[in-house]
């Protein structure tokens, strides 16, 4: 009897631990279903263009011509196929198919940290004796653009496999909802609570689907750039001191945010204003 | 017993504050407040609020109309802009005073402008 | 005037003006240090604000240029914003939980 109670208690505890992220995701998705009842969930991968018909038309015209991320995809493919000095290549790290973006970020139990696609690319280079790429380097952006392109249509499949992974997920979740900066905004202030509203003439996009399309060509940047660059920009806009590209803070944030979009199809790279 | 020097200092102070207040007419203060409200690096009010004279205003906050009816007491309007969390802890409006986004002088001009709407 | 006398005079003038300059912004420099410490403390918690750093840079430049009053103004702004950021950091240790959709 005593054992049964202990066992039951133990089961409940461990269940609640594993159910955490999934419960969070369900509530997150329901929030946007309620806020945008006429918009299909999958449509949110198109960000603000899911919410604004006029801007969507301009965007679709741009995407159907020669989209400005095309060169990055081609250059990335060439870099991906190159052999390292030791004769190995990226496929020795990632497998035969470069369509792997749906699994990133992933929890690396050995290293005890969240590994994004960009970090995995550098880890692969390191283990093969190659120089690490700077995260702003065009080669890094091009490689991740190629992987994103090859992974189009794959549903996001992020896992939180153990307690240590859960701790990183929780860090990212706290970051998402914490107000920061002199202007006192959380990520969730604009992209959850105010999603769909207009800031001046710009429509605030929904957080759901935010991670599906990176790297992205952003007109404001006039180049293809990674998700963490957008994180930095968001922090800066609310006058919070930004963190570094691939910092632990941003990797955990990406981990949480990607889990929230689990099941949505990848559609990167793309273009945004 | 105040010394002559002390009284002179008080008089000078009084004189200068009167001069400062008289430096700008109400219209001028309203104009200064409008500039701050429109400036993206200062008030940036029109990002969220529709108001007369606002270019491409956003819609996250209530329109700034009939402000004297909504805030008969100018001090209450100032308190609301300085720290809107006092009335609504979950507001997304920045605390312009509490977070030192505007100086007290700028806040005064802002209040003059918003109260004129 | 002998050259020796001129040299002595110049030396003493330099000493006097040097000590005056060093003393000049001491109050502002102390306030800059206080603000810097407050900024580092909030930065360590991941809640630093962009304007604080800008005010600190301005205050240091003012002090170096001998504009002590302006250095005081900017140092005070740096300290005020760093303190407000710390209040935010302390609130947000738990306040964020109320914003998670249930």
User: What's the pLDDT score for residue A39?
Assistant: 87
Please give the class, per CATH, of domain A20-67+161-272.
mainly alpha
User: What's the pLDDT score for residue A46?
Assistant: 85
The whole-number average pLDDT for the span C30-45 is: 98
Chain A touched by C50 (CB under 8 Å): yes
With beta carbons under 8 A apart, name residues in chain C contacting B98: 84
* Cβ within 8 Å, pair C80-B100: yes
User: C81-100: per-residue pLDDT in tens?
Assistant: 999 999 999 999 999 999 99
Closest-CA distance, C41 to chain A, in angstroms, reads 13
The whole-number average pLDDT for the span A141-150 is: 98
Q: How confident is the model at residue C3 (pLDDT cuts 50, 70, 90)?
A: low
3-class SS of residue B113 = helix
Residue A71 pLDDT exceeds 80: yes
User: What's the pLDDT score for residue C16?
Assistant: 45
Instruction: Please name the residue ranges forming H helices in B1-117.
Output: 4-22, 26-38, 67-70, 74-82, 104-115
Mean pLDDT of all residues in chain A? 91
Chain C touched by A28 (CB under 8 Å): yes
Q: How confident is the model at residue C24 (pLDDT cuts 50, 70, 90)?
A: confident
C87 → chain B, closest CA residue: B99
What percentage of chain A has pLDDT greater than the value 70? 93
* Cβ within 8 Å, pair C96-A186: yes
User: What's the pLDDT score for residue A86?
Assistant: 97
A192 → chain B, closest CA residue: B92
Residue A159 pLDDT exceeds 80: yes
Dist. CA C9–CA C3, nearest whole Å: 10
Residues A214/A268, Cβ–Cβ less than 8 Å:
yes
Chain C touched by A97 (CB under 8 Å): no
Neighbours of A86 (CB within 10 A): 11
Gyration radius from chain B CA atoms: 17
Summarize chain C as % helix, strand, coil (round to 5). 85, 0, 15
Q: How confident is the model at residue C12 (pLDDT cuts 50, 70, 90)?
A: low
In which residue ranges of chain A is CATH 1.10.760.10 found?
20-67+161-272, 71-150
What percentage of chain C has pLDDT greater than the value 90? 76
* Cβ within 8 Å, pair B58-A197: yes
Residue A10 pLDDT exceeds 80: no
With beta carbons under 8 A apart, name residues in chain B contacting C77: 100
The whole-number average pLDDT for the span A129-152 is: 97
Residues B117/B64, Cβ–Cβ less than 8 Å:
yes
* Cβ within 8 Å, pair B99-A184: yes
Instruction: Based on the residue annotation, tell me whether A93 is a catalytic residue of this protein.
Output: no
- Each domain of chain B, given as residue ranges in start order, spans 25-115
DSSP string over B57-74: --SSS----SHHHH-SSH
Q: How confident is the model at residue B10 (pLDDT cuts 50, 70, 90)?
A: very low
CATH superfamily of B25-115: Cytochrome c-like domain (1.10.760.10)
Of A73-77, A235-239, C6-10, which gets the smallest average pLDDT? C6-10
* Cβ within 8 Å, pair A185-B99: no
User: B71-109: per-residue pLDDT in tens?
Assistant: 999 999 999 999 999 999 999 999 999 999 999 999 999
Answer yes or no: is the ipTM higher than 0.90: no
* Cβ within 8 Å, pair B99-A198: no
User: What's the pLDDT score for residue C47?
Assistant: 98
Residue A2 pLDDT exceeds 90: no
Chain C touched by A182 (CB under 8 Å): yes
Chain A touched by C88 (CB under 8 Å): yes
* In CATH, A71-150 is 1.10.760.10: yes
- 3-state SS of chain A? CHHHHHHHHHHHHHHHHHHHHHHHHHHHHHHHHHHCCCCCHHHHHHHHHHCCHHHHHHHHHHHHCCCCCHHHHHHHHHHHHCCCCCCCCHHHHHCCCCCCHHHCCEEECCCCEEECHHHHHHHHHHHCCCCCCCCCCHHHHHHHHHHHHHCCCCECCCCCCCHHHHHHHHHHHHHHHCCECCCCECHHHHHHHCCCCEECCEECCCCCCCCCCCCEEECCCCEEECHHHHHHHHHHHCCECCCCCCCHHHHHHHHHHHHHCCCCECCCCEEEC
User: What's the pLDDT score for residue C51?
Assistant: 98
User: A17-30: per-residue pLDDT in tens?
Assistant: 456 999 999 999 99
* Cα three-residue angle B43-B74-B13, rounded to 5 degrees: 85
B92 → chain C, closest CA residue: C99
CB pairs under 8 A between A and C: 54
User: What's the pLDDT score for residue A61?
Assistant: 80
Neighbouring subunits of C (3+ Cβ pairs under 8 A): A, B
Of A57-66, C29-38, C63-72, which gets the smallest average pLDDT? A57-66
* Cβ within 8 Å, pair C80-B98: no
- B positions 24-83 inside 8 Å of A (CB): 46-48, 56-60
The whole-number average pLDDT for the span A146-152 is: 97
């Amino acid at each position: 009897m005593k054992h049964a109670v202990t066992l039951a208690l133990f089961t409940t505890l461990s269940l609640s631990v594993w159910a955490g992220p999934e419960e969070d995701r369900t509530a997150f998705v329901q929030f946007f279903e309620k806020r945008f009842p006429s918009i299909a969930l999958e449509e949110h991968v198109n960000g603000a263009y899911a919410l604004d018909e006029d801007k969507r038309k301009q965007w679709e015209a741009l995407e159907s011509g020669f989209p400005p991320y095309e060169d990055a995809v081609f250059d990335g493919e060439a870099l991906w196929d190159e052999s390292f000095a030791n004769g190995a290549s990226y496929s020795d790290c990632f497998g035969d198919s470069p369509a792997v973006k749906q699994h990133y970020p992933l929890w690396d139990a050995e290293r005890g940290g969240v590994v994004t696609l960009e970090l995995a690319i550098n880890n692969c280079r390191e283990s093969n004796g190659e120089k690490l790429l700077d995260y702003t380097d065009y080669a890094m952006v091009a490689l991740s653009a190629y992987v994103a392109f090859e992974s189009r249509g794959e549903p996001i499949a992020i896992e939180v496999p153990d307690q240590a992974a859960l701790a990183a997920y929780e860090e990212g979740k706290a970051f998402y909802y914490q107000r920061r900066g002199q202007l006192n905004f959380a990520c969730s202030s604009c992209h959850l609570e105010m999603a769909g509203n207009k800031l001046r003439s710009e429509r605030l996009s929904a957080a759901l689907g935010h991670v599906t399309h990176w790297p992205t060509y952003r007109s404001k940047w006039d180049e293809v750039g990674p998700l963490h660059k957008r994180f930095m920009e968001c922090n800066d806009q609310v006058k919070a001191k930004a963190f570094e590209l691939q910092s632990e803070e941003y990797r955990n944030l990406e981990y949480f945010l990607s889990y929230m979009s689990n099941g949505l199809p990848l559609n990167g790279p793309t273009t945004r204003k | 017993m105040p010394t002559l020097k002390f009284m002179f200092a008080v008089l000078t102070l009084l004189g200068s504050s009167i001069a400062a207040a008289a430096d700008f007419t109400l219209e001028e203060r309203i104009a200064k407040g409008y500039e701050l409200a429109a400036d993206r690096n200062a008030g940036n009010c029109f990002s969220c609020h529709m108001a007369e004279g606002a270019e491409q205003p956003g819609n996250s906050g209530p329109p700034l109309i009939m402000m004297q009816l909504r805030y008969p007491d100018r001090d209450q309007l100032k308190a609301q802009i300085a720290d809107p969390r006092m009335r609504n802890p979950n507001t997304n409006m920045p605390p312009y005073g509490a977070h030192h986004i505007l100086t007290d002088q700028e806040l005064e001009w802002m209040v003059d402008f918003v109260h004129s709407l | 005037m002998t050259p020796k006398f001129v040299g002595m005079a110049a030396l003493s003038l330099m000493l006097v003006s040097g000590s005056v300059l060093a003393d000049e912004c001491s109050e502002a420099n102390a306030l800059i240090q206080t603000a810097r410490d407050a900024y580092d403390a909030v930065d360590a918690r991941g809640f630093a604000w962009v304007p604080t750093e800008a005010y600190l840079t301005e205050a240091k430049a003012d002090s170096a240029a001998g504009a002590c009053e302006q250095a005081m103004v900017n140092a005070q702004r740096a300290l005020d914003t760093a303190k407000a950021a710390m209040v935010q950091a302390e609130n947000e240790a738990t306040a964020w939980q109320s914003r998670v959709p249930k």
